[in-house]
């Protein structure tokens, strides 16, 4: 590859001049510009992004840290989130660096990434990385609230507690007395928040809430979301007494529907299904159309990107954005059940 020096030499000008021709930060006369561009073309010269980044201390790259499950696949939620991030970043001229490498805890090996800021998914409890990024002066935005809550950190999240309350309220109002909740993995804050919301709804309606009716997704037990839904119904429908199921994702709901078909349970007549949806288009295409809560993962991603870019421009800025998840009633819930 030709360098800026090669161009400068051949065009008979200085490095600085060539630099200015390309960056346009300083006006260069018509003639000189033309000669430089011509030589550059001749030599096949393109500015080196890394050298430039080193100099201006900016890479125009946003880092996106996603913890992948052990089998290396990402969920529909992840995928839509990424989509949102990319969309917003592209719009503002940023590229996105995906990082799924397990974090090295050996600081000797820990090397700063070539990014101007970082969006981090599913922060852990008391996540030490948050402090580390702060110390390094790298702008950070979380997707999913920090635990414990901390409003000196920028983050975006759904109104999980409220959404779960809403779902519970809707089901109980419709006459359901007992509900199976196929919740997310128990180590996630969303799982905790949602359970609280649902409990609150039961309390509000003066009905007893059974912890046993809350399942948690478990990597070791379930090979996939659909399998989680399928197995949970197969295992519990006989033994437990419920007339409605709330599922963690649309995929889980697909598994529930398959189990219902095999057991000859009519949906929604004998079993109502509500999905906490991460795939807006899927819910309306399956039969029966799924009543669901739209989480808008893409919006979460886009907002996270906006927040990050804001923060890159002003480190002192931090903000929290709550994406309103709301119930969309379709066909998978009965409204006059009272089993």
Partner DNA sequence: AAGGGTTATTAAACCGGTTTAATGATCGAA
Partner DNA sequence: TTCGATCATTAAACCGGTTTAATAACCCTT
In the complex, the residues that contact a second copy under the rule CB under 8 A are 1, 22, 37, 40-41, 44, 46-54, 59, 61, 68, 72-74, 79, 82-83, 86-87, 90, 93, 95-101, 107-108, 110-114, 135-137, 224, 226, 251, 254-255, 257-258, 261, 281-282, 285-287, 298
Closest to 168 in 3D by CA, of 230, 241, 242: 242
Cβ-in-10-Å burial (0-12, 13-18, 19+) of 128 comes to exposed
Residue 96 to residue 11: CA distance in whole angstroms: 36
Give whichever of 152 and 281 is closer to a second copy, judged by the CB atom. Answer: 281
CB 177 to a second copy: min, Å: 29
Q: Quick check: 16 binds DNA (CB under 7 A)?
A: yes
Q: Which stretch binds DNA (CB under 7 A): 13-21, 69-77, 125-133, 179-187?
A: 13-21
Nearest CB to DNA, comparing residues 2 and 207:
2
47 binds DNA (CB under 7 A): yes
Length of the chain (residues): 339
Exactly one of 38, 41, 42, 54 binds DNA (CB under 7 A); that residue is 54
Q: Is 239 exposed, middle or buried (0-12, 13-18, 19+ CB in 10 A)?
A: exposed
Chain centre distance of CA 1 = 39
Q: In this complex, which beta carbon is closest to a second copy, that of residue 121 or of residue 214?
A: 121
Q: What is the spatial distance between Cα 147 and Cα 152, in angstroms, rounded to a whole number?
A: 12
d(CA 118, CA 128): 15
Q: Please give the C-alpha separations between residue 66 and each of 44, 50, 128, in angstroms, as whole numbers.
A: 37, 24, 16
Select the binding partner of residue 224 from DNA, a second copy, none (C-beta < 5 to 8 A, by kind): a second copy
Whole-number Å distance between alpha carbons of 137 and 119: 14
Asked if 57 is part of the footprint of DNA (rule: CB under 7 A), the reply reads: yes
Binding of residue 48 to DNA (CB under 7 A): yes
H-only helix segments in the chain: 4-11, 15-23, 30-43, 49-56, 76-91, 128-136, 160-173, 189-204, 225-236, 250-263, 280-283, 297-313
Provide the b/e sequence for 255-269 (b: ≥16 CB within 10 Å).
bbbbbbeeeeeebbe
Q: Of these partners, DNA, a second copy, none, which one is at the site of residue 28 (CB under 5 to 8 Å by kind)?
A: DNA
Which is nearer to DNA, 56 or 317 (by Cβ)?
56
Q: Rounded to the nearest whole angstrom, what is the least distance from the CB of residue 181 to a second copy in the complex?
A: 21
CB of residue 260 vs a second copy: minimum separation in angstroms?
11
Asked if 24 is part of the footprint of DNA (rule: CB under 7 A), the reply reads no
Nearer to a second copy, 185 or 224 (CB): 224
Shortest separation between residue 11's beta carbon and DNA, angstroms: 8
| Cβ nearer to a second copy, comparing 198 with 275 | 275
Cβ closest to DNA, residue 57 vs residue 220? 57
Which CB, 161 or 226, lies closer to a second copy? 226
Query: Least distance (Å) from a second copy to the CB of residue 326?
Result: 21
Secondary structure letter of residue 339 according to DSSP: -
3 state SS of 164: helix
Which residues 6+ apart lie within 8 Å of 77 measured at CB? Answer: 249, 278, 295, 297
Question: Which of 42, 51, 203, 262 touches DNA (CB under 7 A)?
Answer: 51
Region from 50-58, 132-140, 175-183, 202-210 binding DNA, contact rule CB under 7 A: 50-58
Task: Give the binding site for DNA (CB under 7 A).
Answer: 1, 3-5, 12-17, 19-20, 22-23, 25-29, 31-32, 45-48, 51-52, 54-57
């Amino acid at each position: 590859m030709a360098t800026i020096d090669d161009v400068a030499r051949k065009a008979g000008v200085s490095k600085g001049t060539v630099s200015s021709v390309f960056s346009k930060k300083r006006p260069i006369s018509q003639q000189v510009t033309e000669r430089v561009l011509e030589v550059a073309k001749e030599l096949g010269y393109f500015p080196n992004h890394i050298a430039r980044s080193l100099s201006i201390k900016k890479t125009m790259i946003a880092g996106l840290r996603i913890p992948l499950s052990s089998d290396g696949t990402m969920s529909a939620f992840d995928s839509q989130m990424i989509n949102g991030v990319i969309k917003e970043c592209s719009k503002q001229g940023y590229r996105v660096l995906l990082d799924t490498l397990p974090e090295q805890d050996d600081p000797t090996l820990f090397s700063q990434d070539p990014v101007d800021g970082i969006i981090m998914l599913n922060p852990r409890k008391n996540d030490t990385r948050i402090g580390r990024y702060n110390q390094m002066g790298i702008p950070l935005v979380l997707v999913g609230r920090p635990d414990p809550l901390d409003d000196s950190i920028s983050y975006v999240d759904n109104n999980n507690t409220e959404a779960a309350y809403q779902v519970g309220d809707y089901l109980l109002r419709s006459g359901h007395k007992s509900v199976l909740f196929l919740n997310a993995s128990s180590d996630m804050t969303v799982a905790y928040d949602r359970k609280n919301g649902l409990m609150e709804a039961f309390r509000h309606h003066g009905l007893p809430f059974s912890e046993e009716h809350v399942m948690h997704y478990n990597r070791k037990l379930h090979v996939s979301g659909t399998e989680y839904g399928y197995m949970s119904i197969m295992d519990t429908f006989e033994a437990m007494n419920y007339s409605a199921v709330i599922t963690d994702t649309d995929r889980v709901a697909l598994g529930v529907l398959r189990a219902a078909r095999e057991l000859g349970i009519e949906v929604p007549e004998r079993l109502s299904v509500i999905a906490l949806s991460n795939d807006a288009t899927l819910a309306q295409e399956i039969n029966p159309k799924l009543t669901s809560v739209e989480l808008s993962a893409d919006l979460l991603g886009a907002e996270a990107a906006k927040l990050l870019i804001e923060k890159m421009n002003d480190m002192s800025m931090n903000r929290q954005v709550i994406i309103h998840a709301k119930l969309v009633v379709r066909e998978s819930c009965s409204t006059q059940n009272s089993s």
